[in-house]
Amino acid sequence: MRHSTTFSKPVKRPLVVSAVAFSLSLGVVEAAECPAEGLRAPPGYYLMADENPLQEYVCPTVEPHTGSMNFTSKYEGSDASRDELNTEAEAEYRAAVENIRTLEKAVIAAANDYQIDGDGALARECVLQLLDSWGSSDAMVTDDINGTGQAVRKWALAAIANGYLRVTLPKPEAITDPDRQQRIKGWFARLSQGVQAYYSDRPLEKVNNHDYWAAWAVAATAVVSNDCARWNWSMAKFDEAMGQISGEGYLPNELSRETRALEYLNYAMQPLATLATWAQVNQQPLYDTYHPEFQKLAGNVVDGLNDPSIIASLTGFEQVTDGLYTSWSLAWLDPWQAGEELLPGMQTLMDMYRPLKSTRLGGDLTWLYAVQLVEEKPQPPGKVRVNEKEKPGGKK
């Protein structure tokens, strides 16, 4: 919902999400240390197109969501496979989360305007004002939240943390209100704490794409505040995901979605590929650590995209592909190509659907990941180069 309003002054509210201990079982990444220079985003996050500052910029006002986050699932009434949409429940869900989804889109749109279109300080200010408005209201920080609300919160955190990075990293010297920055970072930390509390210590039979998206949201937040504990939590979740890959190269909990198995295998790849590339930037070569199982998973997903009957033969169900062949659904291919060699079939999909864009993965990913990583342990932005090809290819 969009309307005119003024941004409220920051108010102090009690934290309602219980604290979580971060002494988790971190698997192979337990001893990982943050890079000496601090956690980094990929090189594209530090770049800007030539500026053509606007004299006016229309920034939407999005009312903070401060109420209940007990949301109806769009799969309400479906069986254990959770593959049948309930149209009435979906409409109720979309109405309930409208403000949150509007915030995600508004933040990323303004970040694109600032970083790619060169719209200048007014576009950057729009992002920061929106985040400060919501953070000052402690939006989405609540204990009145169910599993669907938890999913919505982590997706939102992924989008807004990426938007924040994109308007603060290119010209950090232009950020002149440190108090506002601390309010926003504090709010991100409270949201991240809630995400981590819910997605920690889950039974392995329940771990699925939601956990991977939670890891992605927390990792982006970790980079915002250079928080190694949160970063290592995310890396542990990635480790957990890799441990779920079957010998045949599939994620069983996504394959169990019957008619939507391909959709959810592809959906799982979105945070996983992006996390692996961010880890590589931070001197943790997950693509190498989990080779060949990760490549086998990715290859199976791409094979399925090119021929859904492959997945249908495994599940016994014809695959639902509505919305699957889109810029946002295939957006994980650009982070993949920035940090790893392209697999057969990837380039064709990229050529067909670029520019690849996903709000929850950061926006225009074709632009953000046009800079390829060229060393095994890159330390951007110094050890990178811009790919001169019209369409980025594999790792050089």
Alpha carbons within 13 A on the beta-carbon side of 278: 31
Parallel, antiparallel or unpaired: strands 357-358 and 371-373: unpaired
pLDDT of 35 reads: 80
SS3 of the chain: helix, strand, coil, percent, to 5: 55, 5, 45
Q: What is the CA radius of gyration of the chain?
A: 20
Q: Where are the domains of the chain?
A: 27-386
How far apart CA 97 and CA 62 sit, in angstroms, is 12
pLDDT of 122 reads: 96
How far apart CA 120 and CA 124 sit, in angstroms, is 7
Give me the phi and psi of 357, to 5 degrees please: -135, 135
**Average pLDDT along the chain, 396 residues, taken 10 residues at a time:** 28 24 34 76 94 91 96 70 71 94 98 95 97 98 97 98 98 94 98 98 95 98 97 97 97 96 98 97 95 97 98 97 96 96 97 97 97 50 34 34
The secondary structure of 310-375, three-state, reads: HHHHHHCCCCCCCCCCCCCCCCCHHHHHHHCCCCCCHHHHHHHHCCCEEHHHCEEHHHHCCEEECC
CATH class of 27-386: mainly alpha
pLDDT of 207 reads: 96
Q: Report pTM.
A: 0.86
How far apart CA 201 and CA 128 sit, in angstroms, is 34
Closest CA to 87 of 76, 98, 97: 76
- 169 contacts 381 by C-beta, under 8 angstroms: no
pLDDT of 52 reads: 87
Place of tokens 């080779």: 291
The token duo for 191 is 């949201």
pLDDT of 103 reads: 98
209-225 vs 178-199: helix crossing angle, rounded to 10: 150
